[in-house]
Amino acid sequence: MTTTAARPAAPPRPLPDEDSREYWAALREHRITLQACTSCNRRRFPATPSCPYCAHPEWSEEEAAGTGTVYSYIVVHRAFDAAFAADVPYTVATVDLDGGGRMVARMDTTPAIGARVAPDFVDHPEWTELRFRDQETA
Amino acid sequence: MTTIGERSSYVSGLGQSAVGRNLGRTEMSLTVEAITNAIADAGLRPSDIDGLVTYPAGGNGTAKGGFGGPSANAVQDAMGLRLDYYSGSSDGAAQLQALVTACMAVATGLARHVVIYRTVTESTAQTASGRRGLSLGDTELDGEMQYRLPYGALSATTWLAPLAQYHMDRFGLTREQLGQIAVVSRANAQLTPYALMRGRPMTMDDYLAARMISTPLSLFDCDIPCDASTALVISHVDTAADCPHVPVQINALGTASWGRPSWDQYEDLASFPGRGPAEHMWQRTDLTKDDVDSAHIYDGFSIIVNLWLEALGFCGTGESGAFLEGGKRISRDGELPMNTNGGQLSGGRLHGFGHLHEAALQLRGEAGERQLPRQPEVSVVTNGAGSTVGCALLTRGLA
């Protein structure tokens, strides 16, 4: 079975909104910014107008180095969208950033759980995608 | 003790439409079939029904998506019902929210006989438009999907597989242990008339040879889309004397959401949001896990079963692999028979309601060829996996 070809073979792109605009704009500049609560100091992802850990409504934008540790990962063998058909198999990792914040993003290699990773920035025509690379195999 | 209002409710009627692939039926036709069967099974007439609740409602048609099913309004009109209460929602305790809402309507007195139903035509829809992920042709994504779909994380498989990988890496869960869920479910399906995989037995070797979908989940770790509607009548216990069946009481519901309700942001990914409703449910009953005679555990993907078994306390965190080892424990003649109709992995993706229907059928003792050799008195049902989760404890007879 194949996916339908009714759509252009480009990945769907994110539509930045009031909450996410800062994150996507920073990625465009190859920077990672996350909200950090000014009360409990925890970083959070994705962006929300109040803290999911303590409900405090104020935050600061904090720049993350983007290094972190692989919490878990998968290898996608089955593309459910034609835009990704040429990419399979590909790896998607769950990464805990140093300093806080858990991200899900693609990797070009398949890591081990616990592997140290660093950020990569992949520019698409209208947006920039965060990926991670294994620091040991890079 | 707090009020346990759900005990005002019991299952009075069970209805199942035809179940199959590409049935060539509309979602409304399947829905009316299931509801008509459920009302007749309860010994009632359509004019007795004063409540109607569905999950999730807002159906987008038989052939497009096939996920929503017709709204309560649409069904009311199709069946000429006179309703004092109706509702449909995808928010809440997963598919079981329909049961929760029905119990609340009964307990408040808004209605006495509430039909709940869940209709899927995903087989027809995916045949018409291809099996595809959740972007459904969108080119721009907002809300939470803006963070997932651009990376090719397009289906629930890709959200659940990291939890499976984590269980394997950290707790030593093996593919053979995980595979027992699929293998035992397939064996159970051989006794279930409507099961999609009846007549197609499967060995552990078959399981291990299946192609990967999202490592470490393979084809047989994923449930099977189908066309079907499942309906139950939930009635006030005051009417139980008129019920032609052993009443199946709602002993306790678990509806809590206590952590971050998210596939990837829940605090401890060794666990999952089902922890909340599981603990909530046990707080609302004097029954314990040791009283449970059969388990009907949501199995959109096999690993969800592991997470629920641990959340419900049948085993400790990380111990579900050992619990499943060899498969005997969860088999028909084991200490915790599970997904006795083949579940969604082999019966068909009735989407939560199949588990609820099967639990009630087994508690009545009316499951026919597949009736458990030891008559269950207490059964647990769980629904959902990611951001919405819920569970329920059912008993044979009224407490």
For residue B100, pLDDT over 60 is answered with yes
Q: In chain B, what percentage of residues exceed pLDDT 90?
A: 80
Q: What is the pLDDT of residue A75?
A: 92
Query: Can you tell me the mean pLDDT for B53-60?
Result: 82
For residue B118, pLDDT over 50 is answered with yes
Residues of chain A in contact with residue B260, where contact means CB-CB under 8 angstroms, are 52
Range from B310-314, B385-389, B391-395 carrying the lowest mean pLDDT: B385-389
Q: For residue A81, which of B150, B63, B142, B67 has the smallest C-alpha distance?
A: B150
Measured distance between the N- and C-terminal CA atoms of chain B, rounded to whole angstroms: 16
d(CA B205, CA A2): 26
d(CA A119, CA A131): 6
Contact A104 B153 (CB under 8 A): yes
In angstroms, what separates the C-alpha of A60 from chain B's closest C-alpha? 20
Contact B142 A14 (CB under 8 A): yes
The strand pair at B217-218 and A68-76 is best described as unpaired
Residues of chain B in contact with residue A20, where contact means CB-CB under 8 angstroms, are 146-147
Query: Can you tell me the mean pLDDT for A1-30?
Result: 76
Beta bridge partners, A105, equal: A93
pLDDT range class, residue A1, cuts 50, 70, 90: very low
pLDDT tens, position by position, B362-386: 999 999 999 999 999 999 999 998 7
Q: How many CB atoms lie within 10 A of CB A62?
A: 16
Query: Can you tell me the mean pLDDT for B301-307?
Result: 96
Residues of chain B in contact with residue A69, where contact means CB-CB under 8 angstroms, are none
**Partner residue facing A106 (CB), from B151, B165, B260:** B151
Range from B134-143, B316-325, B356-365 carrying the lowest mean pLDDT: B134-143
Of B59 and B19, more confident: B19
User: From B266, which residue of chain A is nearest by alpha-carbon distance?
Assistant: A102
Of A83 and B77, more confident: B77
Is-contact B234 B104, C-beta < 8 A?
A: no
Of B306 and A14, more confident: B306
For residue A5, pLDDT over 80 is answered with no
In angstroms, what separates the C-alpha of A2 from chain B's closest C-alpha? 7
- Distance from CA of residue B29 to its chain's centroid? 21
Contact B139 A80 (CB under 8 A): no
The token pair at B122 is 């995903």
d(CA A1, CA B122): 15
**Partner residue facing A12 (CB), from B135, B157, B213:** B135
The token pair at A95 is 């990464």
Domain ranges for chain A, please list them. 21-134
d(CA B79, CA B222): 35
pLDDT tens, position by position, A83-137: 888 889 999 999 999 999 999 999 999 999 999 999 999 999 999 999 999 997 6
Q: What is the pLDDT of residue B64?
A: 74
pLDDT tens, position by position, B169-182: 999 999 999 999 99
Contact A11 B163 (CB under 8 A): no
**Partner residue facing B162 (CB), from A17, A87, A94:** A94
Residues of chain A in contact with residue B170, where contact means CB-CB under 8 angstroms, are 113
pLDDT tens, position by position, B158-172: 778 889 999 999 999
Q: What is the pLDDT of residue B266?
A: 87
**Over chain B, what HEC string results?**
CCCCHHHHEEEEEEEECCCECCCCCCHHHHHHHHHHHHHHHCCCCHHHCCEEEECCCCCCCCCCCCCCCCCHHHHHHHHCCCCCEEEECCCCCHHHHHHHHHHHHHHHCCCCEEEEEEEEEHHHHHHHHCCCCCCCCCCEECHHHHHCHHHCCCCHHHHHHHHHHHHHHHHCCCHHHHHHHHHHHHHHHCCCCCCCCCCCCCCHHHHHHCCEEEECEEHHHECCCCEEEEEEEEEEHHHHHHCCCCCEEEEEEECCCCCCCCCCCCCCCCCCCCHHHHHHHHHCCCCCHHHCCEEECCCCEHHHHHHHHHHCCCCCCCCHHHHHCCCCCCCCCCCCCECCCCHHHHHCCCCCHHHHHHHHHHHHCCCHHHCCCCCCCEEEEEEECCCCEEEEEEEEECC
For residue B388, pLDDT over 70 is answered with yes
d(CA B183, CA B165): 20
pLDDT tens, position by position, B210-251: 999 888 999 999 999 999 999 999 999 999 999 999 999 999
User: From A105, which residue of chain B is nearest by alpha-carbon distance?
Assistant: B151
Q: How many CB atoms lie within 10 A of CB B68?
A: 21
The reply to whether domains B5-129+226-242 and B152-223+249-396 share a CATH topology is: yes
For residue A10, pLDDT over 80 is answered with no
pLDDT tens, position by position, B1-36: 578 999 999 999 999 999 999 999 999 999 999 999
Q: What is the pLDDT of residue A4?
A: 39
- Considering chain B, what is the average pLDDT of its residues? 93
Q: In chain B, what percentage of residues exceed pLDDT 70?
A: 94
d(CA B17, CA A82): 34
The token pair at B113 is 């006989």
Q: What is the pLDDT of residue B137?
A: 56
Q: In chain A, what percentage of residues exceed pLDDT 70?
A: 92
Taking each helix axis as running N to C, give the angle between helix B72-79 and helix B27-41, from 0 to 180 degrees, rounded to the nearest 10. Answer: 70
For residue A37, pLDDT over 90 is answered with yes
Domain ranges for chain B, please list them. 5-129+226-242, 152-223+249-396
Q: What is the pLDDT of residue B162?
A: 87
Q: What is the pLDDT of residue B205?
A: 98
Q: Is A104 on the interface with B (CB under 8 A)?
A: yes
Q: Amino acid letter at A5?
A: A
**Partner residue facing A73 (CB), from B140, B157, B162:** B162
Pick among A2, A73, A74 to test the B interface (most B CBs inside 10 A): A74
Q: What is the pLDDT of residue B36?
A: 98
Query: Can you tell me the mean pLDDT for B61-83?
Result: 90
For residue B353, pLDDT over 60 is answered with yes
Range from B118-122, B131-135, B326-330, B393-397 carrying the lowest mean pLDDT: B131-135
In angstroms, what separates the C-alpha of A138 from chain B's closest C-alpha? 21
Is-contact B181 B238, C-beta < 8 A?
A: no
How would CATH label the architecture of B152-223+249-396? Answer: 3-Layer(aba) Sandwich (3.40)
Q: In chain A, what percentage of residues exceed pLDDT 90?
A: 78
**Partner residue facing A46 (CB), from B144, B151, B217:** B144
Chain A window 18-57: which residues touch B at a Cβ cutoff of 8 Å?
Answer: 20, 45-46, 52
Query: Can you tell me the mean pLDDT for B349-363?
Result: 98
d(CA B181, CA B174): 12
Q: Is A121 on the interface with B (CB under 8 A)?
A: no
For residue B134, pLDDT over 60 is answered with no
CATH, domain B5-129+226-242, list 3.40.47.10, 3.40.190.10, 3.40.50.720, 3.40.50.2000: 3.40.47.10
d(CA A7, CA A1): 17
d(CA B394, CA B290): 14
